[in-house]
Amino acid sequence: MDYKNAGVDIEAGYKAVELMKKHVKATMRPEVMGGIGGFSGAFSLEAIKGMEHPVLLSGTDGVGTKLKLAFLMDRHNTVGIDCVAMCVNDVACAGGEPLFFLDYIACGKNVPEKIAEIVSGVAEGCIQAGAALVGGETAEMPGFYPEDEYDLAGFAVGAVDRKDLIDGRDLKAGDVLIGMASSGVHSNGFSLVRKIFEKELTKEGLNTWYDELGTTLGEALIAPTKIYVKALKSIKEAGVRVRACSHITGGGFYENVPRMLKDGVHAVIRKDSYPVPPIFRMLAEKGGVEEHVMYNTYNMGIGMIVAVDPADQEAAMAAIRAAGETPYVIGAVEAGEKGVTVC
């Protein structure tokens, strides 16, 4: 009896590491010290020595049950982007620059090619965010996960000078709310998605083309989460002060928008101020989901919201476009009880 007979293939682990090295190498930053295979990832803090009051920021998250879609489609090169996005967007939301990222993959059986495919997505997400992939873990757990399934989670660390921290303290009535378009459902609410499309969750069903989507159902659902790091950096480089920021994830508008507000101000968001992607209309109609529940579960086409002074509106919009994202003026901040009205 040995470890392999117990279900854990150490040689497969070695092969997976070899296959993923080229993807990891593409994410390197000058501050990374050492290579792949150490017991920890080393990252020099030289990059933040010039800050007056450096503050470390961190974010951790997973992909959730969207992974079930990846299993069904046998597509594993995009969920890594989702994993990175869910973490680095939170760091960027506080005004920070993501510095490095670590991932954790737990699987029922280590298939090196599949693991490398997953990590290729993680690396792509890190490249989009400008973060280095400095380490990770692949745990083969036979008997805990089915052989063809896995879980994926990650952890990001970033930094910001305290004076640039976005915490809502300067938010005022009259500030403009600018939303950045999402790529679709992103990585939240997939338990409800899977319930609504229960009958369509087959290879044939996911490969079905829908004119209203302009693509197949599977492609519409698996579209990776947008990474807004460059857009937020572009706003800052344009000289615009973001007064508050919200990453629209699980809980939609009703949970996430109030998190960007201070006491005494209220956010008003106009539903007709931007186009809602057709996948959300399809979810609502097919599932009989009430509108309030949709806005309390999904991003409804807006993945990130920033609040800026009205005088900075055009400059912020131009900066977002320059970073390749699509902005919309979706509402404003008013005096009132802390909360959000979607009307």
Residue 31 has pLDDT above 90, yes or no: no
pLDDT in tens, 66-120: 999 999 999 999 999 999 999 999 999 999 999 999 999 999 999 999 999 999 9
Helix-, strand-, coil-residue percentages of the chain, each rounded to 5: 40, 25, 35
- Any bridge partners for residue 42, and if so which? 33
With bands split at pLDDT 50, 70 and 90, how would you rate the model's confidence at 8? low
With bands split at pLDDT 50, 70 and 90, how would you rate the model's confidence at 1? low
Which tokens is 60 given?
Answer: 């951790």
Longest dimension (CA), the chain: 72
Q: What is the structure's pLDDT at 9? A: 64
b/e code 196-219 from CB counts within 10 Å (16+ = b): bbeebbeeeebeeeeeebebbbbb
Average of per-residue pLDDT across 35-50: 82
CATH 3.30.1330.10, applies to 10-164: yes
Q: Domain spanning 176-342: which superfamily?
A: PurM-like C-terminal domain (3.90.650.10)
Q: What is the structure's pLDDT at 89? A: 98
Entry pTM: 0.95
Average of per-residue pLDDT across 144-171: 96
Q: Name the average pLDDT for the chain.
A: 94
- All residues at 6 or more sequence positions from 49 whose CB lies less than 8 Å from its CB, including other chains: none
> Whole-angstrom Cα distance, residue 76 to residue 114?
7
Average of per-residue pLDDT across 230-251: 97
Average of per-residue pLDDT across 156-172: 96
- All residues at 6 or more sequence positions from 131 whose CB lies less than 8 Å from its CB, including other chains: 27, 29, 84, 88, 98, 99, 100, 101, 156, 158
- All residues at 6 or more sequence positions from 7 whose CB lies less than 8 Å from its CB, including other chains: 109, 140, 142, 143
Counting residues of the chain whose pLDDT is more than 90, the rounded percentage is 85
Where does CATH 3.30.1330.10 sit in the chain?
A: 10-164
Q: In 94-187, which residue ranges form alpha helices assigned H by DSSP?
A: 112-129
> Whole-angstrom Cα distance, residue 83 to residue 74?
17
Give φ, ψ of 220 to 5 degrees. -65, -40
- Any bridge partners for residue 333, and if so which? 267
CA distances from 140 to 109, 115, 219, 233, 311 (A): 6, 11, 29, 38, 54
Q: What is the structure's pLDDT at 52? A: 94
Average of per-residue pLDDT across 22-48: 83
**CB contact at 8 A, 26 and 78:** no
Q: What is the structure's pLDDT at 243? A: 98
**CB contact at 8 A, 108 and 145:** yes
**CB contact at 8 A, 303 and 248:** yes
Residue 21 has pLDDT above 90, yes or no: no
Which tokens is 2 given?
Answer: 């040995």
Where does CATH 3.90.650.10 sit in the chain?
A: 176-342
Counting residues of the chain whose pLDDT is more than 70, the rounded percentage is 97
The DSSP output letter for 19 is: H
